[in-house]
Structure formats: structure tokens, C-alpha cells
Amino acid sequence: MRSLTVARVSLLAAMSAFLGGCGDSGKATGANTSTRGVIASASDCASFGPGAVDACAEAIERAVTQHEATVAHNNIESCESAAGAGRCERAASGKYRVRLSAFLVTLGGSPRAEPLYPAPAGTVGFVTANKTTLAASDHSLAFSRLATSVAEAQAASNVKGKKRSMF
């Protein structure tokens, strides 16, 4: 299944960043608490506490499925006109859609994840499918190190006006 492969590749890519040390937030995650953050892979959830990686992986699978069902454009030009240069990917169907960049994950109760996409040019962060911007500079929402790196790379690419994908 393609979405499972995407999650596994994301997991492997994040392992090097994770093994470099994510630090300890000092927050205990209990069964009745809700933890929310922007991540780029399921392994980023390890800092949320024991068992969080499995819950994250399941939530991310659902978010990838949601992403794969997004509106597709017939050609790259149409997609980039709507989303911006270098922000689109080719789907298995041959159509184009905005590139999936990260996830907004909420753990506690029923874990859920929402697909996130590149932010508007010059913004270090991501946008939701509803066009809500989540800026890395907004400290009310935790960004994993890997998610921050992805957001910074996308913002730098947009500032330079490059049309190529970073992946």
C-alpha cells in the first residue's frame, strides 16, 4: 500500500534526526491529556511519551489517505497556479496535487492527524487543507526538529524563487 510506504520512508528519514536527540519537553503525557504538535514523521512523536509512536502512525495513515483523496489538477501548471511554484507532486493517477509536507497531530482520546502543506512564500511553517497557516514562530504549537527543518527548507526555496521540488 502506497500510504504505508510513505509512512515508512518518512519514519526512516526522521530516524537520523531523532537519534541526534529531540530533547525532553518535561511534560508527562497521561491518558486524559491532549498533546498537539507539528511533525514530519511518526518517529517525531516519541517525544510525546511512551506509546505515542504507534498512535501517531495510525493517525498519520488516516491523514495520508485524506491527502491522497485531495483535488487533483490535470497538469503541473494548473497545480502551481493554485499552490505556488515547486509545491506540487504527481499522484499515482498521473494528475497533480499540492505536496504533502508534514502533519498536525493531536494525541489523547482519539488520536488524529491532519495533512499539512507548504506555507505561503516567505513563511516558515505549513498550511492546513483549510488554508490556516501554522507558523514555526508561533510557540503555542510545538514543531518537531524535522518539521522545522522541512519548513525552513521550503521557505528558503520559495524566497530564492526556485521552481524545483526539494524532494
The whole-angstrom separation of Cα 146 and Cα 13 is 9
Domains of the chain, by residue range, sit at 2-10+35-159
- Residue type at 137 in one-letter notation: S
Higher pLDDT residue, 8 or 49?
49
pTM: 0.74
pLDDT of 91 over the 80 cut: yes
Q: Report CA dihedral (134, 103, 22, 86) to the nearest 10 degrees.
A: -70
Per-residue pLDDT tens over the stretch 38-90? 999 988 988 888 888 889 999 999 999 999 988 789 999 999 998 888 889 99
Per-residue pLDDT tens over the stretch 22-40? 444 444 444 446 789 999 9
